[in-house]
Amino acid sequence: MKLKSILNEGIAIGIVLAVGTLFALYFTDVSIRVGTDVGDRAPSFTLTDIDGKNFSLKDYRGKIVVIDFMAGWCSYCKLEMSHLKEIYSSYSDEEAVILWIDVDPNESVKTIRSLKEGYGGDWTYARGPEVAATYGVTAIPTLYMLDSEGKIVYKNVGVTSVSALLSEIDEHR
């Protein structure tokens, strides 16, 4: 009698687990994995910008997101900033946003603010060496573009041309 009860409980638990697994598979998009390659869902992060405001990557769902990993001492990064200015002036904040993330743990908010005032546009600037590590950034500038669902649709290491950025944004918006 006790063995029959244990078997019945085991069968009931197995059925619940099987139904739960099927439910999770049916309602979860398992075709998109989190990672840093084109086609992956971009790893989530939360940072504080140079004005002290917290933001998360998920705050920008529904928009094209350009994440540019850079540093203030990088001359190629400064060149890329001129390309980002064109992008910034070509799209509304509702269409596309730019996140400039400093990878150098030794650069201060003051340094980044000075860089923004001297070279950059009016987009979001933040320190984020830990985010750069999550994204596997090994050279700068490294640019990621995400579609409105947070999937990586473009990645480039080195200076990205304005025409490439415009083309990618237009293709994915």
pLDDT in the model for residue 158: 96
pLDDT in the model for residue 24: 44
Token digits of residue 122? 């009016």
Name the percent of the chain lying above pLDDT 90: 74
Q: What DSSP designation does 47 have? A: E
Which value, in Å, is the radius of gyration of the alpha carbons in the chain? Answer: 22
Return left, alpha or beta for 81; rule: phi > 0 is left, psi -120 to 50 is alpha, else beta.
alpha
Residues of the chain scoring pLDDT < 50? 10, 12, 14, 16-28
Q: What's the predicted TM-score (pTM) here?
A: 0.80
pLDDT in the model for residue 168: 93
- The CATH number of 46-172 is 3.40.30.10
pLDDT in the model for residue 4: 61
Give the rounded distance of the alpha carbon of 42 from its chain centre. Answer: 5
Among candidates 134, 138, 139, 128, which has minimal Cα distance to 152? 134
Question: Exposed e or buried b for every residue in 119-141, given b needs 16+ CB within 10 A?
Answer: bbbebbbbbbbebbeebebeebb
Q: Tokens 């730019």 map to which residue?
A: 98
Domain boundaries, the chain: 1-30, 46-172
Tell me the sheet residues that pair with 83.
Answer: none
How far apart CA 57 and CA 38 sit, in angstroms, is 17
Tell me the sheet residues that pair with 142.
Answer: 69, 157
